[in-house]
Every structure is written in C-alpha cells, then in structure tokens.
A and B are shown apart, each in its own frame.
Chain A
C-alpha cells in the first residue's frame, strides 16, 4: 500500500511539473505575422481583440453570406493575417481605362465566383477584360495608413525628372463619402491619395474593409449597402461597430519583424538590393505622421514600399484597372513579411498580384516596365550574389 501512495504522490508531482515543461514553445515574435503593435492603450487592446474575433468570424447563409460571394470570412483570404492562397483568388473585371468601370450592371468590379446552394455564380461578361488577384498580407497596415500624403508626394517622380527610368506616382482617386480624411491630407482637383489594394484604389482601411465585406463576402454594411446579387440597396448584414472593430484591428496589427538581421548573407543581400535599385520603388524606410492612435504617430518603420503606382510593363498588364491607375500600373507591394508568406500560403509562396510567381526569383524575373533595369541588373549578378539577395528578401 505504501508503494501505491508513493506512486500517487509521484504522479501528482509529475503532473504539476509537466504542465509547463511539456507545452509547445511559443514561436519567436518575428516568426509570426499576427499580434498587436506595442504601446496600445487598454481600450485599444480591447478593440483589437474584438476586431480579431470579427476578422475570424465565419459568415453562414443565415448570417447573410452571399448568395454570391468569394469567401466566407476575412481570414479565408488572409490566413494568419498573411497573403492569400489561389483557392480564394479574386477576379476583377470591366475597367480597362480611367473612364470608370463599364460593367457595373453586370456585377463589376468583382466576379462573385461562388454561390450558396440553389444559386449560380457569376460568369465573366463577354468583352470584359479582367485580372486575378491574391489577397495581400494585412500586417502593419496602420503604419502605411499613417504615412502623410506629403511624404508620398515627396517620393514620387511622375515625370521621371531624375532620369532613372522610375516614375512612381500617387494614385489620386475619388473617395467615398463615408471615409474620414487623414490629418494633413492633400487634395488635387477634388481627388485624394489612395493607397490600399493592388492598384492603390482604396483610400483607407475603412474603404478597403467595407469593400471587402461587400465584394468578397456579399455582406452589406452601412458603408456599402448595395447587395452584389440584386444590385439593390438592402439592410446592413454586418453592423457598423463590427466593421469599425475590424478596421481598428487592421490598423493596430504589428508590422512584420525581420529575422537573421546579423547574418552575413542578409547584410550583403541588403546592399545588393540597394545597388540594383530595387529600393527605388521598394523604399526600405517610411515614417508615419500624426495618427489618432498614439502608438502609430511619428514612427519610422521598414515596409519596403513607396505606396506609389509604377508601370510594370506588358507582362504584368492584364488590361484591367481601378480608379485612375493605368492597366500596366501596380502599387508597389510592401516586401515586409515576404519570408513568412509561405507559412500562410500552405508551404508555397504565391507572389505578384495574382500569385503567378511561386518563388522570389520568378517574381523578380517577371518584373518589367519601370523595373526592367533592376531585373537586368539582377540577371548580371553572380549566383552567390543572387542567393544573398534572396536570403535578404526571405529575412524580411
């Protein structure tokens, strides 16, 4: 009997000790895309949690999904807050110039390629040009949102005055009535600088989020009340507080943190990145202006984007556009988090606007237009230099 008691006591001790010792270790902070920025107030953290929950909420048919849709939750397109996967690829159609979308009565701009049972998904109307899109990562968006218009204008060179072959320009676009202008915003002929989305056509995160609820999930809101199936205004299917919580969540998601920053190859790769002029569009460093969220105000950060539109050449021109961008123009995508992309995309990275590049090198080689000189310089690099460059990009 004594032995039994000893065994029991031993087991209880083992149980207590083992609780902590056997637990899976938390990944390093720089291996994860999700999590809040530092310095949020308690109130902001509570809203972050609410937004995080709403971001993961699954819309069912009873809750308003569809009848036509592309995805049934925000997280389907942005798994782990990272880039999307081709199984939730978007097709946008109907606009091939700056005169606006000519296919709005056919359900443009987005093809609702899924439908709830009993309904048929949309098909591309005859004559409509289109592009396919993979959703971007959503981390660090608050920093990008808080960069001042003046800073973006300063980065731009629309007429290539410096003669380097790179002529980034802000996307001056009309904005919906429900958005609130950011501090010190600059207007030009009634248009404002928009910066979110592959064509940079969304002004801010409320514009982007309301559009995504509507066009991606078929969910109407106070901001975007037109049902994508009937094309008529209907009651909101998601409440305003939820949309605002998601916007707050997106604004306060931390920026992706680099890894292996002291590695020799990473340091050399970073230098090559600059030497072959990648950094002229993928600007390593930006600074935020004044933000209502104190933790975002006046912060220097490293997104590797200039948030400007660049002509990427015929290879990436799908003859579709949004707002006042040309069909060959794409907003420079941030490169931060690039090395973590495959962890959100099922082990393979799907890069460029439609995921056509499945490796960083193939993405580089598909650059054209304003980036053709950088691509040619990349081709002239030695194998070890190419490896160093890619090692650096994977460290982001």
Chain B
C-alpha cells in the first residue's frame, strides 16, 4: 500500500510539474495555477461532494489536485480521570481528478488517518456522463448512505469530531469496489438526484468484534473487500435526494444485503443474514437568520443469530444535528470574508435497541453527546475550531453513564 501511495503522490506532483515547468521561468506559480473553489450554487447536492472541492489546476491542464488536512489537540476527562493533553494528526487527504475526454472523468481520494496508521483509498472512480440524468460510476466508490459518508471533508464542518452516528454506527467513510448509476434533474427551484450502486459489502465482523456490539465500522478492517466479496452477494446502496433551492435538501437512502459468509466451497456455514440500513439526511439554511442546520437519522436492522450473545443487537438507531450560526463576517486580519461562527451539535447513538430476554428490561449501549463550538474561518476553505463535548455513554445494562468532557482545538484546511 505504501508503495502505491508513493507512486500516486509522485505521479500527481509530477504530472503537474511537467505541465507547468516550461512556463516557470517566465511566470510565477500563482499566475499559472488556478484555484477552482467550491461550487456554492443552489443546484449542488450532497451527492456532488466528491467533485465539489477546491482543486488546484493549471491552465488547460486536464488534471486537478487538492486535499485537506485535519489536526487538533484534545483534552478529555472521563469520570474525573484524564489522560492529559494530546495532539492528533487526524487526516491528510489528497485528491486528484482528471478529465479524460468529453464527459469522462476520474477522481481519486487517498486518506492518511492518524499519521500513517491507516492509509486508504476512499474514492477512485471513473465517471461517464451519458446524460445529466444518466451517469455511470465505477471503481472504488463511497456508498451514498446518509450524507456525511460522501460529504465528509473536515474543512466543511465546525466540529473536530465527526458525528458519532456516521463513524461509530455507520462506517464513514465507507467505500467499496463496485459500479452504479447516478443522475440529477432540475426544474424551477427543484433539484432531484438519485444514485444506485452495487458494491462489495460487509462481513461477519460486524456482529463479532472487539467492540462487543453490532458495529458496522468493524468491516472497514477487511481490506479484501476491494478484491473480492466476502460472500458473493452484492451490497445495494441507493439514494434519492430532493432539493428546493429556497428551502433545503432532504435525502432518503438505503443500503442492504446479505452480510455474512454463509457458504464456502459449496458447504453451508450458516444461514444467510441480512443487513438493512435506512437513512434520512437533511440540510437547510434559515434565510432570515442565516442559520445553517444539517443532520442525519439512521435506522439499522440486522439479522444476528438467535443463539449468539445479546451483546450484539439486531436493531440500531442514531442521529446527529448541527446548528451553525455566523455571528461575524467582515474583513479581519486582512482576510476579506473572515467569519466567526457559533455552533452546536447533538449526537445520539443506540447500538442495541431492544429488551433482555431474561428480564424484559431495556438494553442500554447508548450514547448522547452535546458539543457547543466556536469556529473562525479566515476563508471558506480554512477553519479554526474550538469544541467542547460532553458525553454520556451507558453500557449494555444501562448502568450509570460514563461521563466524558472533551475540549478540542483544531484546524482543518483544504490546500
């Protein structure tokens, strides 16, 4: 993997230099490179997030480069016990896109998480546009479940931590090898988008892992999902998103299929077990106040063997909502459109919904958190964030919640 990354980086930078090098003597880099900013027009949907990023390109050059960095400090205390102050280099993500020919393009996204602890291809797909409502996408794609999985770039958010429901219940960023179709249509104030994909999917680890709960992100450790399906059954992911330019966007998505290895070399290992994930995502801006609201609600049903431990639940649900208010927007320190924002996030995840067979009492394994935040953006692409997060997490028995308070100071920027 490291060799691949190295080649990827060299190719990316090399391509750019080859194109612009002859001009360097006569011109400065700034005059050659063009920064393509994020499209903030009202016709953009969450599904456009992969391509809708600030890229750097050279005039007439078919290749664009970009990326973002997220780093922060963290001071956390759980029930009076702290491990002190830490600094974290959460993510370094590099994108490279290319226009191959008319209506054929390519985008890749490589992410280094926690330094080089996890290196992954989050997106590497070929897009072919037959018509605005009929596009083909194939390669390594981000499954369009909810909105955060596709629209997760750090600099877009006012919070250092990603939403719990996205990373600890869904498996954001959840990417797989596969193919599918997508398209968009516009009429008046309305924009309609759809996506349907078949990809490789999850595996047994989601109901047998060291988290000791049904945990979809456990399947991310299975790197073979880019090489072959765990069980020969495709995972279907589909999404329908509707946007009214004056109101906001709402998306309905579904991801499901057989997740377990039920057969090997013709021998039956287990019965086929299904996973079904439903998500509703939304975002809107209240025009009068400029308040931005974004959130997701997720429901998961999963078939867990009746004979297995109740630690692994067969129903989950979770949600998050962010409210962001710009309180100051003016020239500051020479940055023309610098903004101060205040924000708040509510996180909720219940990894095990149901009651104990033995007592009929409710199963716990849930988490609530509230995170007020202050952010400063010198420009739209760069954000300084101070977050405070207070979390209540209950174990499976609903014993008194472990209380955790966390202070985070972080930066995130596109480059």
Contacts and interface: CB of A to CB of B under 8 A. Distances in A.
Contacts of A61: 204, 208
Given A22-B388, A85-B397, A346-B361, A117 B210 contact: no
Interface in A2-25: 4, 7-8, 11, 15, 18-19, 22-25
B217 interface: no
A344 B356 contact: no
Contacts of A27: 79-80
A43 B403 CA distance: 30
B399 A25 contact: no
B374 interface: yes
Nearest to A62: B208
A23 B210 CA distance: 28
Contacts of B205: 60
A347 B398 contact: yes
B48 interface: no
Contacts of A18: 388, 407
Q: How would you classify the secondary structure of chain B's contact residues: helix, strand, loop or mixed?
A: loop
A24 B361 contact: no
A222 interface: no
Contacts of A19: 75, 407
B384 to A, nearest CB: 10
B328 to A, nearest CB: 8
B409 A79 contact: no
A24 B270 contact: no
Given A72-B212, A348-B361, 9 more contacts: A4-B332, A23-B77, A23-B82, A58-B209, A60-B209, A73-B212, A86-B358, A115-B305, A346-B364
Contacts of A4: 328, 332-333, 340
Contacts of A11: 374, 386
Nearest to A60: B208
Interface string B183-218: 000000000000000000000110011111000000
A65 to B, nearest CB: 8
Interface in B63-78: 75, 77-78
Interface string A95-134: 0000000000000000000111111110000000000000
B308 interface: yes
Which residue, of A7, A61, A87, has the highest number of chain B Cβ atoms within 10 A? Answer: A87
A345 interface: yes
A85 B333 CA distance: 60
Interface size class of B (residues with CB under 8 A): 35 or more
14 contacts: A4-B332, A4-B333, A8-B376, A15-B407, A24-B405, A60-B205, A87-B310, A87-B356, A87-B357, A87-B358, A114-B309, A116-B307, A346-B398, A347-B398
Which residue, of B270, B309, B311, has the highest number of chain A Cβ atoms within 10 A? Answer: B309
B404 interface: yes
A324 to B, nearest CB: 31
Contacts of A69: 309
A71 B312 CA distance: 12
Contact of A1 (B273, B332, B361, B395): B332
Contact of A343 (B388, B390, B399, B405): B399
A118 B261 CA distance: 11
Given A18-B388, A87-B357, A348-B361, A24 B77 contact: yes
Contacts of B309: 69, 71-72, 76, 114
A346 B399 contact: yes
A94 B210 CA distance: 33
B310 A24 contact: no
B80 A23 contact: yes
A79 B397 contact: yes
A124 to B, nearest CB: 15
Contacts of A24: 77-80, 403-405
Which residue, of B81, B209, B307, B310, has the highest number of chain A Cβ atoms within 10 A? Answer: B307
A11 B388 CA distance: 12
B308 A115 contact: yes
Contacts of B80: 23-27
Interface string A271-296: 00000000000000000000000000
B399 A79 contact: yes
A368 interface: no
Interface string B170-192: 00000000000000000000000
